């Protein structure tokens, strides 16, 4: 089932240290002040950082209607996801993983323990 940016935002804002922001004039989310994700200009694509190149290629090969990369992002460990085509669970898993890389380990641990 696809996901909307409002649903992405609601999920992310439930994680500690996540805040709304803007990037290049478009809505974005930051975790502990670090870039977590942003909506692209087309209003349907989400920038998902923290995706290793090999994983990105597998995602694009498995679901080219949902995942892609542009020349601008080719040299960075990121993938673009079409919200209208991507599975919600995949987006939330990728965001949660990158969130863990952005916040202090003790914050992630406390979140996992339900504190």
Tally Cβ neighbours within 10 Å of residue 25: 7
Query: What does the pLDDT look like over 30-62, one tens digit per residue?
Result: 999 999 999 999 999 999 999 999 999 999 999
Q: What is the pLDDT of residue 115?
A: 59
Write down all domains in the chain, each with its CATH number in brackets. Answer: 5-112 (3.90.1150.30)
pLDDT value of position 114: 81
Confidence of residue 64 (pLDDT cuts 50, 70, 90): very high
Most confident range, picked from 2-6, 54-58, 111-115: 54-58
Cα–Cα–Cα angle for 105, 52, 34, rounded to 5 degrees: 45
In tens, the pLDDT along 94-104 reads: 999 999 999 99
Q: What is the mean pLDDT of the chain?
A: 95
Burial code of 65-92, b = ≥16 C-beta within 10 A, e = fewer?
ebbbbeeebeeeebbbbbbebbeeebbe
Percent of residues in the chain assigned helix, strand, coil, to nearest 5? 40, 25, 35
Q: Is 5 helix (H, G, I), strand (E, B) or coil?
A: helix
Q: In this model, does residue 80 exceed pLDDT 80?
A: yes
Q: What is the DSSP letter of 36?
A: E
10: burial class by Cβ within 10 Å (0-12, 13-18, 19+)?
exposed
């Amino acid at each position: 089932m696809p996901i909307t940016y409002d649903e992405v935002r609601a999920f992310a804002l439930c994680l500690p240290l996540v805040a709304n922001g803007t990037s290049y004039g478009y809505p974005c989310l930051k975790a502990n002040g670090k870039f977590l994700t942003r909506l692209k200009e087309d209003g349907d694509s989400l920038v998902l950082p923290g995706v290793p190149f090999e994983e990105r290629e597998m995602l694009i090969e498995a679901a080219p209607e949902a995942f892609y990369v542009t020349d601008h992002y080719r040299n960075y460990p990121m993938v673009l996801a079409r919200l209208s085509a991507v599975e919600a669970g995949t987006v939330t898993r990728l965001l949660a993983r990158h969130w863990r890389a952005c916040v202090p380990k003790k914050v992630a641990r406390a979140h996992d323990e339900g504190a």
